[in-house]
């Protein structure tokens, strides 16, 4: 959340960034409410000062008739204060709700553009694979090795669900374990997190109110199923002051993610590229503002380390203004090549959110030797997301008979060199 003071002092920039995002936000209404709030506060304070002065005079007066007249007058003042206080609460409530609708400011270096077509390719790493045979899509490979069953997943839960079994289930587990191990060795503290969070937690992280329609919710309890571990990580220190000397704090966690994916007919209808439930390894950083640019690059480097270890071609994308997420000031996407469809699949978004989420979650910290508190910067990145990483491994390492070579780095986890064709 942007502070009211920041919006007031940087109205032109906030308004410009909203337009660059190709979205809308109630900036004008926020400023109107702010003016009304300040006027009401001024009126209430003036009336209270008047009442306090009159109370002292009444106490000191020896004129009984005059005292009663002043008391009646102050009762009327009290009634007026009550009315103004009521109006003030309504104004402040609407003002807070409107502030939650304003996206983060944009980093000045973000490419300008209305949508993903304006994203900028920063770097492409690795050579695209070539095959002496026609490469198969991952859903065909999954059937050949007998480990992917989309029909049974749909039977149990409907469209956009699937099951993995045997070597493919182990391959996904091996990928997750590799990611956790590698990020852990890099100094990230592994965390086990709740998969269901309260509504307050979703507001704090920035998923609510904007993305309510994309969330799964328990109909009877105040629980939302997490769309990403980022939401839980944001709330680790909600309404707390982080003691001096603890920043930066770096975390990594593996969780399932649940999202109401709204897909157009004919788009991504085959396979497991998009679904309502998927696995993800997520990295998260709390840091001082002066550290956030370096931490952003660290997160991107950690995400890049995984396809490099796997031997997969990937590229880094600098998202344009119209494609940067609501909470972020700047985002780099990591995409891995999928041969069959001839496309790059997003497996990570590394985002710097500045102090946007810290304001929403009321998180502060103290620097060593200081009593005053500041809001920390908060950053996140997938490290990486499944099933798209699984898809790219299957398609890039496929062999002519449909078997799948296990990447060298995963063989100690798998105990096999090849996922064989099902007998």
Domains contained in the chain, CATH given: 4-99 (1.10.287.40), 116-419 (3.30.930.10)
Six token digits for residue 113: 């553009």
Beta 277-287 vs 196-197: how paired, if at all? unpaired
Residue 350 · residue 296 · CB < 8 Å: yes
Choice among 48, 51, 346, 367 that is catalytic = 346
Choice among 250, 259, 360, 364 that is catalytic = 259
For the question of residue 346 being annotated catalytic, the response is yes
For the question of residue 304 being annotated catalytic, the response is no
Q: Per residue in 172-209, pLDDT tens? A: 999 999 999 999 999 999 999 999 999 999 999 999 99
Q: What is the mean pLDDT of residues 305-311?
A: 98
Q: What is the mean pLDDT of residues 213-226?
A: 92
* Residue 142 pLDDT: 97
Residue 227 · residue 207 · CB < 8 Å: yes
Q: What is the pTM of this model?
A: 0.93
Name the average pLDDT for the chain: 94
Q: Per residue in 91-110, pLDDT tens? A: 999 999 999 999 999 999 99
Q: Which residues of 244-281 are buried (b: 16+ CB within 10 A; e: fewer)?
A: eeebbbbbbbbbebbbeeeeeeeeeeebbbbbbbbbbb
* Residue 375 pLDDT: 98
Helix spans in 311-380 (H): 356-361
Helix 292-310 × helix 388-396 angle, to 10°? 40
For the question of residue 8 being annotated catalytic, the response is no
For the question of residue 388 being annotated catalytic, the response is yes
Choice among 67, 274, 315, 411 that is catalytic = 274
* Residue 63 pLDDT: 66
Q: Give the separation between CA 409 and CA 178, rounded to whole angstroms.
A: 8
For the question of residue 136 being annotated catalytic, the response is no
- Poorest-pLDDT segment among 17-21, 151-155, 282-286, 305-309: 151-155
Choice among 201, 205, 348, 349 that is catalytic = 349
Choice among 21, 348, 388, 403 that is catalytic = 388
Q: Per residue in 238-274, pLDDT tens? A: 999 999 999 999 999 999 999 997 755 555 668 999 9
Best CA proximity match to 336, nearest among 407, 285, 401: 407
Contacts of 274 by beta carbon, 8 Å cutoff, 6+ apart: 160, 261, 263, 268
* Residue 270 pLDDT: 81
Q: What is the mean pLDDT of residues 291-320?
A: 98
């Amino acid at each position: 959340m942007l502070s009211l003071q920041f919006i007031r002092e940087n109205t032109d920039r906030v308004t410009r960034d909203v337009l660059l995002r190709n979205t809308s936000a109630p900036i004008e209404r926020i400023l109107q409410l702010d003016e009304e709030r300040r006027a009401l506060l001024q009126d209430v304070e003036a009336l209270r000062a008047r009442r306090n002065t009159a109370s002292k005079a009444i106490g000191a007066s020896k004129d009984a008739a005059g005292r009663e007249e002043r008391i009646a007058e102050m009762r009327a003042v009290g009634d007026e204060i009550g009315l103004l206080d009521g109006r003030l609460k309504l104004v402040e409530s609407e003002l807070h709700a409107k502030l939650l609708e304003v996206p983060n400011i944009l980093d000045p270096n973000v490419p300008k553009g209305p949508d993903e077509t304006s994203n900028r390719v920063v770097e492409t790493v690795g050579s695209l694979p070539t095959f002496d045979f026609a490469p198969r899509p991952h859903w065909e490979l999954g059937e050949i090795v007998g480990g992917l069953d989309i029909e049974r997943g749909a039977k149990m839960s409907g469209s956009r669900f699937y099951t993995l079994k045997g070597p493919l289930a182990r391959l996904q587990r091996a990928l997750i374990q590799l990611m956790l191990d590698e990020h852990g060795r890099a100094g990230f503290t592994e965390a086990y997190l709740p998969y269901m969070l309260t509504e307050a937690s979703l507001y704090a992280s920035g998923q609510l109110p904007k993305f309510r329609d994309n969330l799964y919710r328990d109909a009877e309890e105040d629980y939302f199923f997490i769309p990403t571990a980022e939401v839980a990580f944001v709330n680790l220190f909600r309404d707390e002051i982080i003691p001096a000397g603890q920043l930066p704090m770096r975390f990594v966690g593996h969780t399932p993610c649940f999202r109401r994916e709204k897909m157009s007919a004919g788009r991504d209808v085959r396979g497991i590229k998009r679904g309502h439930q998927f696995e993800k390894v997520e990295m998260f950083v709390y840091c001082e503002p002066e550290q956030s640019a370096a931490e952003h690059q660290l997160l991107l480097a950690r995400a890049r380390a995984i396809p490099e270890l796997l031997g997969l071609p990937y590229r880094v994308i600098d998202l344009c203004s119209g494609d940067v997420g609501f909470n972020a000031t700047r985002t780099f996407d990591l995409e891995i090549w999928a041969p069959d469809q001839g496309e790059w699949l997003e497996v990570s978004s590394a985002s710097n959110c500045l102090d946007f989420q810290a304001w929403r979650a009321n998180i502060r910290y103290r620097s060593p030797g200081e009593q005053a508190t500041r809001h920390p910067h908060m950053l996140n990145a997938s490290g990486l997301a499944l099933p798209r990483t699984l898809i790219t491994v299957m398609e890039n390492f496929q062999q002519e008979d449909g078997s799948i070579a296990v990447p060298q780095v995963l063989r100690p986890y798998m105990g096999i060199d090849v996922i064989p064709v099902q007998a």
